[in-house]
Amino acid sequence: MGWSSMENISVILVKPAGSMNIGMAARAIKNCGITNLKLVSPIYFRQREAHMMAVGAKDVVDSAVHYRTLSEALTDETCSFAFSRRMAKDREPYYSLDEAGPIMAKRALKGKLALVFGSEADGLTKDELYRCDFRVYIPTSETFGSLNIAQAVLLACFELFSETHGLKTRSEDFFVPNSEIKPMLDSLSRLLSEIGYNTKHEGKLRKKIRQAFAEIVGRAGLRHKDVNMFLGIFSQVRKTANIKS
């Protein structure tokens, strides 16, 4: 029996400033078959006010899970897409919404996927953008490009709904979440240190290698057997180099 890909999707609002916007966002995601809402350190949240705008989606508001940081909210996700009006020059690519749609759809079929949105006033910080695997912008008018957060959420969710509607997958094909990727990255860091990346200069290089590997893994996605394969490779390198675990 197949799994509905929409069940794998979460919408994460980082430091949302208004309860009514949270309510409108809840209604928007439920319109697209999504019920998983995560709130990261909301600046102002009153359930009653959110209910006023979440017509028919009060259950989404009530079941929303609260987190202190974006990193905590992403722990059980396998892939994340950050939405922002800012397009940083030092790290490409940025995808337009229509370009990201097919990618989001494929990843939603393979594991848990998060759509991440920043605060109404400031959006996502640079650090928050780079904690996500993909960065997406929604093309709008050059004369007035600002979107209400609920509008941005609806556009992104509808794009994903359009791409994924009716598609099915097998649970054994799912990508593993970040909580299972981190131990593999920790093992890589230890291995790099053990084979010589342990001076102050090489320590910085070791961190860069880990970050680059993490970004590649985040974009590609790993299954359980892929993680086990990498751990096996790390173990074999240790044996060949005569390094004790």
Show pLDDT as tens, one digit a residue, over the chain (245 residues). Answer: 234 567 889 999 999 988 999 999 999 999 999 999 999 999 989 999 999 999 999 999 999 999 999 999 999 999 999 998 766 555 556 888 988 998 998 888 888 999 999 988 888 998 899 899 999 988 888 788 778 899 999 999 999 988 877 544 555 557 888 888 989 999 999 999 888 887 777 778 888 899 899 888 888 888 888 888 898 898 888 888 877 65
How far is the CA of 227 from the CAs of 107, 109, 158, 232, 239, in angstroms?
A: 17, 19, 32, 9, 19
Reduce the secondary structure of 17-65 to three states and give it as a string.
Answer: CCHHHHHHHHHHHHHCCCCEEEEECCCCCCHHHHHHHCCCCHHHHHCCE
d(CA 39, CA 165): 26
Q: Mind listing the pLDDT tens digit for each residue in 131-159?
A: 999 999 888 887 887 788 999 999 999 99
- Domain 3-170 is found in CATH 3.40.50.300: no
What does pTM read for this prediction?
0.72
* CATH 3.40.1280.10 placement within the chain: 3-170
User: Nearest to residue 10, comparing CAs of 52, 49, 63, 86?
Assistant: 63
Q: What would the two tokens of residue 201 be?
A: 């200069």
